[in-house]
Amino acid sequence: MKKKVLQRIIATILLTLFSVPIAFGAVYQGVLTAAETASAQEAPTETTYAAPETTTEPPATLAVTSPEQTELAVDEPFVNLRGTCAVHLPLTINDVPVTVAADGIFSYDCPLVPGENTVTVTNTDLTFTYTVTYDLQVIRAVSPAKSVTMNGGMKMELSAEALEGATVTAKLNGQTVRLSPVADSDDGTGLVEYNGEFTAPAAQYSAQKLGKVRFTGTIDGYSQTVSGASVTVNKIEYPDIEIDEGAGTVKPPVISGDGYVEVLSPTQDYGNGSARVLRVTADYAETCPGDTADDKSDPRCTPFLKGMYDYVVGTGTFDGKDYYITKSGYKVETAQSESFDGYVLPANTISVHKCYTDDETNLILTMNWKAPFISELKEQSYYKGYAGRVFNVTDSTAQYIDFKFYYTNAAEGSFDFSGSNVISRAEWVNVGQNGTTTLRVYLKSRGDFYGYRAYYSSDNRLVISFQNRPSSVSDAVIALDPGHGGRDPGVIGVNGMYESEVNLRISALVKQKLEAAGVDVVIFRTGNQTIELEERQAKARAAGANAFVCLHNNSSTSGSVSGTEVYYYRAFSQPLAASIHAQLVTAWRGIYANNSAMLNKVVPNDGGVRFYPFKVTRIEECPAVLVECGYLSNATECGALALPQNQEKLAEAVSNGIIRYLQANCA
């Protein structure tokens, strides 16, 4: 317990150091977006947000707040009208009765036909008229949209956001690829994602410019062609690198008198030839598959640690970001690494230095050099679900975790995990196979995994520390992140309420309820601070928590969408997501007990527990989830979210979901 207390003190200090700002409008996007890398400097403040205004009397007359112009053009098959009106008199839009929230707020998606539409809004003795031109666009957006450079033989995903029911194709280098819808439309926009795959021709000794990708969508006699990225296949530039394959012999590195491991350096010639060497310069540099021309995060591709070496076999550009392609088979952003002319290192070997259990299950390894490795949960079942992503899970089902070390042909040492309540045993497998060696760590129970952290110790050894089960709920630590804040208010509700305010209010209540149950809570902000996305992720890594919960509220261009979702990235985070979501569903069903229309939309078509690579959830240290409590773009739901009694109910639901998860996973 002394070590646990010390860890919490250190975590508090680190979290204070990590409190730095982000640029206005940075939101939680999918994978390595420009918003995630934006930064601006602003000193954080401790000003607590005022409570959202909930006591205003319902309006006595009609006021339309959106759209602001009476003549406008849109590219969606509807126009969303928002405003306030007298609740005691009927509201109609184009003679259709519109549901109004108790506080007089309304949000309605008026359907449109291609071309010019007249929209009339009537309430009391007022009628507002709008002229809306619907410019039918079969295709809304395409990817890749910017320039792409790729190695010969690489695969490139082609995707388009297009109207549901459309026929969508993409043409490049004389090839036509039929794109297929990957998910049903459930966001009210009528748009779905279509995907296909293009394989680049083999590389030559000169670059091949393939031209631009041309996307074409057709529906009901309408056709549209959109230009995407210009694509270039790299020339053959980097020589093939010979590495040792097959099992070898452990060659212990030089260890100084004070126990410091003198690791090998690629700046020294060991007689194995020269190479273009990559060195990781960022903590936890994200990786993604090296055989695809995209930057989609993949939970089987864990970060490279700062100081790791690899060999560069190619370069790539995707939507404006530059990558190195490594011999090990991954892509690393050039912004998180560097390359230089160096030498091929001798095959790496590994020996077990120490294995012990205290508050964590610790494994310390000695290696000849900082060779790259990735980890993967094995015997984990996945399925294609939300947004067509293939890493959705119904439960955490892994039986072991593999740490695959590249350029490594020998390993030795035994393991003693007798004190661990998570790990049963470990073994070396596939030693020297294709120049790699795998450390296989078995779980005591199927799916019973809570994360790990990996780092290089001060004596240059690799430390892998596995998260143990907490002994009780009162022994647990929860990291809680109220989303947005400061110059990033998040979305703005139909009643003018900032998402950041609602997130903070509910998070503060969650903290109170968890602490009342004996849980130790580390909260990332208590006032109007701006915190950069990367720093939220760093805070989550540094917290030493048993679980990390990032709390948000949602928005859609459609005013009809409502409901609650919880997102995870690592498969072992899904049980936490499912537990919180189940409690939120119960809470919303209570709130909407007398509103059958809203009651039927609490749970989305796919169930609402979803895989998605939000940056804050892409950590390995503990289960991490992003919670979307409800939709501020829906008039009824926004009104409900503004009420203190409902904030209390939702906070109770989130805290109950966390506590039930902890109770099910205590030692």
Query: What is the domain partition of the chain in residue ranges?
Result: 2-42+473-664, 63-134, 139-233, 265-343, 348-467
User: CA-to-CA distance for 116 and 112, rounded, in angstroms?
Assistant: 9
Q: How would you write 226-264 as a 3-class SS string?
A: EEEEEEEECCCCCCCCCCCCCCCCCCCCEECCCCCEECC
φ and ψ at residue 329, rounded to 5 degrees: 105, 25
SS3 content of the chain, % helix, strand, coil (to 5): 15, 40, 45
Residues of the chain predicted below pLDDT 70: 1-56, 184-188
The whole-number pLDDT of residue 20 equals 34
Nearest to 615 by CA among 525, 523, 530, 536: 536
Q: 648: part of which helix (H) or strand (E)?
A: helix 644-664
Interhelix angle 574-591/644-664, nearest 10 degrees: 150
**What's the distance, CA 94 to chain centroid?**
41
User: CA-to-CA distance for 548 and 541, rounded, in angstroms?
Assistant: 9
Q: How many CA atoms lie within 13 A of 423 on its CB side?
A: 28
Token code pair at residue 540? 């989550």
User: CA-to-CA distance for 177 and 168, rounded, in angstroms?
Assistant: 9
2-42+473-664 homologous superfamily: Zn-dependent exopeptidases (3.40.630.40)
User: Structurally, what CATH architecture does the domain formed by 348-467 represent?
Assistant: Sandwich (2.60)
Same CATH topology for 2-42+473-664 and 139-233: the answer is: no
The whole-number pLDDT of residue 240 equals 84
The whole-number pLDDT of residue 26 equals 29
Instruction: Please report which residue ranges of 261-312 form alpha helices under DSSP H.
Output: none
Q: Are 667 and 74 in contact (CB under 8 A)?
A: no
User: CA-to-CA distance for 295 and 367, rounded, in angstroms?
Assistant: 30
Q: Are 216 and 225 in contact (CB under 8 A)?
A: yes
User: Structurally, what CATH architecture does the domain formed by 63-134 represent?
Assistant: Sandwich (2.60)
What is the CATH T-level fold of the domain 265-343, as seen in this structure?
A: SH3 type barrels. (2.30.30)
Would you say the C-alpha torsion 328, 616, 361, 654 has a positive or negative sign?
negative
Distances (CA, A) of 213 to 161, 216, 225, 614: 15, 10, 10, 28
Three-state DSSP state, 527: coil
139-233 homologous superfamily: Immunoglobulins (2.60.40.10)
Distances (CA, A) of 392 to 20, 396, 619, 622: 33, 10, 17, 18
Token code pair at residue 423? 């790990």
φ and ψ at residue 399, rounded to 5 degrees: -105, -25
The whole-number pLDDT of residue 47 equals 42
Instruction: Report the predicted TM-score, pTM, of the whole model to 2 decimal places.
Output: 0.90
Q: 599: part of which helix (H) or strand (E)?
A: helix 596-599
User: CA-to-CA distance for 215 and 118, rounded, in angstroms?
Assistant: 32
Q: 513: part of which helix (H) or strand (E)?
A: helix 499-516
Q: 324: part of which helix (H) or strand (E)?
A: strand 321-326
pLDDT tens readout for residues 89-118: 999 999 999 999 988 999 999 999 999 999
